[in-house]
Chains A and B, each alone.
Chain A
């Protein structure tokens, strides 16, 4: 079982949380003007990143609040936890960009790459 650190309640078992998929998907600014393709993108297309992925979780059995997390989808290591409304931590963006591959590659374990160290809220 994974251990997640809720921004409000601290470290808790994974079973207390529910998953919300990709974070930072904004509701369309002008929904009436969207094409079918754009609606499809909004409703059905989500990133399916192999590597560092920003995603939403809700602490259902605790404070019942939503928050964001950056997690490695290969090692399942949690790299950062931050509140709804906050931006994805910048250094992690850079780390993600540096490892975002043209070709698939195993991400280095967190210990081996100090840039990946947890520095979230």
Chain B
């Protein structure tokens, strides 16, 4: 076929510039968090001479691999403030970015299957309400009303004993979110540089002054790391340690179906979370693979177990077929809360540790991390999330709200 017959390429949403010799700030990692950080640096702090360095292609890491769930029903005040701020930003971002990325507030249910689950869930609903986060406790009948395809019978191994429900929660189109941020960043003069892997840092004493990359050395005043599962690798290059462990996290989709699933259902106890994408695929995820891994793939039994749980909860899925499965590398911390703040290296800042739940945090991570980089001190929202909490003991333990199904 001759290229003459091909239509014009649609308008590009961002340029692909070569790196300049120097920038005021360099963000390492061109995923959702890196893009959001650059966006807020440019928009809120007037920093326009900045670059995002991405070793692969834009938003091709966890931003392309997550199950797009957005919610803010976390237990502790610090997390509720952070994630609720994020949710509020999600609500205004389509207009602000002038891009409808199909944020669908269809609600998220977190099922309870044991008395322990029920107590934890009811407690969390109470905590959420006190923090201004919309949350309700549903009994099994109400669960069934909201999601008729759920099996609430007693004849399964872990019957549904109720659920927490956050009506404002939902899903969005992850690729479109990335493109929306990228276009606005580009408009404000941010250089998005793909296929540019960081191979080291230039330091003057304990101060970072540049970034070595596969496309040459780039001088910079400040560096912000937004590299999720690869943060440890970068931290080692920079000469400090970071308390995260990288694990594979897998997800899968079915082939397309008629709309059958009106909300998002998550279950910590039987390890599965399910929603139906706008196009019609059933999107499912589960817990991380237990071992450390950078392979962007995990073991099959994890998929097998999450499918078993899904079919028991949703008997209608028994005849659905898996279309594809994949894995990402998630950066977990010991308290299941992120790290956003300064590092032991001067002028280098880190945003990581979002573990299995980074997508929902994208706007708040960007906002608070940009503030931290621009001003040199944390935003009120991310102040409790500094690395020093592992020394002071002021941990923010969100294993209940986050561990399996983030």
Q: For residue A2, which residue of chain B has the nearest CB? A: B299
Shortest distance from the beta carbon of A109 to any chain B beta carbon, whole Å: 13
CB distance from A105 to the nearest CB of B (A): 9
Q: Which residues of B contact A55 (CB under 8 A)?
A: 291-292
Decide: B245 and A45 in contact? CB cutoff 8 A: no
- CB closest chain-A residue, reference B199: A103
Fill in one digit per residue for B174-200: 1 if any A CB lies within 8 Å of its CB, else 0.
000000000000000000000001011
A: contact size bracket: 20 to 34
Give A85-102 as 1s and 0s: 1 = Cβ < 8 Å from B's Cβ atoms.
Answer: 000000000000000001
Q: Is A33 an interface residue (CB 8 A)?
A: no
A1 touches B290 (CB 8 A): no
Q: Verify B301–A46 contact, CB threshold 8 A.
A: no
A74 in complex: contacting residue of B237, B245, B295, CB < 8 Å: B295
Chain A residues numbered 1-56 whose CB sits less than 8 Å from any CB in chain B: 1-2, 13-15, 18-19, 21, 36-37, 39-41, 43-46, 48-50, 53, 55
The residues of A that contact B320 with a CB separation of less than 8 Å are none
Q: A37-B391, A46-B243, A102-B237 are in contact. Are A71 and B291 (CB under 8 A)?
A: yes
Interface residues on B, range: 20 to 34
| Interface assignment of B317: CB less than 8 Å from any CB of chain A | no
Interface string of B298-318 (1 = CB under 8 A from A): 011100000000000000000
Bound Cα distance from A14 to B304, whole angstroms: 14
B392 at the interface (CB under 8 A from A): yes
Of the residues A45, A71, A75, A76, contact of B241 by C-beta under 8 Å: A45
Docked Cα-Cα span, A74 to B233, in Å, equals 13
Interface flag for B293 (CB, 8 Å): yes
A102 engages B293 (CB within 8 Å): no
Closest chain A residue to B245 by CB distance? A48
In the complex, residue of chain B having the shortest beta-carbon distance to the beta carbon of A53: B292
* Residue among B200, B232, B295, B391 with max Cβ neighbours from chain A (10 Å): B391
Known A-B contacts A18-B290, A48-B245, A71-B291; the reply to A102 vs B299 at CB < 8 A is no
Quick check: A19 and B294 within 8 Å, CB to CB?
A: no
A104 within 8 A of B: yes
Closest B-chain residue to A75, C-beta based?
B295
Q: A40-B390, A48-B292, A74-B294 are in contact. Are A14 and B301 (CB under 8 A)?
A: yes
Binding site for B on A (CB under 8 A): 1-2, 13-15, 18-19, 21, 36-37, 39-41, 43-46, 48-50, 53, 55, 71, 73-76, 102-104
Q: Which 6 pairs, one residue from A and one from B, show the smallest C-beta to C-beta distance?
A: A48-B232, A103-B199, A19-B290, A40-B391, A44-B243, A44-B390
Question: Using a CB–CB distance below 8 Å, which chain B residues touch chain A?
Answer: 197, 199-200, 212, 230, 232-233, 237, 241-246, 290-295, 299-301, 334, 390-393
Cross-chain pairs A/B with CB under 8 angstroms, 30 sampled: A1-B299, A1-B301, A2-B299, A13-B301, A15-B301, A19-B291, A21-B292, A36-B391, A36-B393, A37-B391, A39-B391, A40-B243, A44-B390, A45-B243, A45-B390, A46-B243, A48-B245, A50-B232, A50-B294, A71-B291, A73-B246, A73-B294, A73-B295, A74-B293, A74-B295, A76-B295, A102-B199, A103-B199, A103-B200, A103-B212
